[in-house]
Chains A and B, each alone.
Chain A
Amino acid sequence: DAGITQSPRYKITETGRQVTLMCHQTWSHSYMFWYRQDLGHGLRLIYYSAAADITDKGEVPDGYVVSRSKTENFPLTLESATRSQTSVYFCASRAPGANEKLFFGSGTQLSVL
């Protein structure tokens, strides 16, 4: 199906474990983004990518790693999960150009115990 999909939808893990959240889009959008959404903070950018093999830090990158070997995939890895990383994570993508909309995945609700 066309669109942007995230997996898993829900994840519970323990502190110190490595966790990878997946994001896949079928439009070949060049821009992809990872956000976290927390009460009181709204949406905050973790990492973004302008194209395959081009990634850069956002506002809150500490503790996260991304890669983008293929245009359609943009996984986010928590190398050693901490309780402060309990959040809802959204992946998004858009085509280049000033008039392009942003499309969001359904989100991953992550709990770190």
Chain B
Amino acid sequence: KNEVEQSPQNLTAQEGEFITINCSYSVGISALHWLQQHPGGGIVSLFMLSSGKKKHGRLIATINIQEKHSSLHITASHPRDSAVYICAVMGGTSYGKLTFGQGTILTVHP
């Protein structure tokens, strides 16, 4: 079993829909990152969370440390949101090393 599990692996939505991507992890962590990777593109850090909730534009990330679970929400999705979304966790004494989920491929159709 992977230490970081994402669901779903693939997600297709129509423009305007509310989207949720889930991330569950099995180890103790000091922080969780959500990353975005566009096709053929680089990787961008969207959020870094250690507790609670963060919001940036149409993106919202939440984390429940007790349940070892995080969610990334996209409100009013747009085709430009089509990308791979990757969850990554950082252990407490790991020199900042991350353990990555396999990623969720999101496709938003107009």
Contacts and interface: CB of A to CB of B under 8 A. Distances in A.
Nearest to A96: B96
A88 to B, nearest CB: 10
Interface residues of A, number: 24
Interface residues of B, number: 21
Given A100-B48, A102-B33, A31 B43 contact: no
A42 B33 contact: no
The majority secondary structure among interface residues of chain A is strand
Interface stretch (A16-24, A43-51, A69-77, A78-86): A43-51
Interface string A83-107: 0000000101010101111111111
B97 to A, nearest CB: 6
A84 B64 CA distance: 38
A42 B95 contact: no
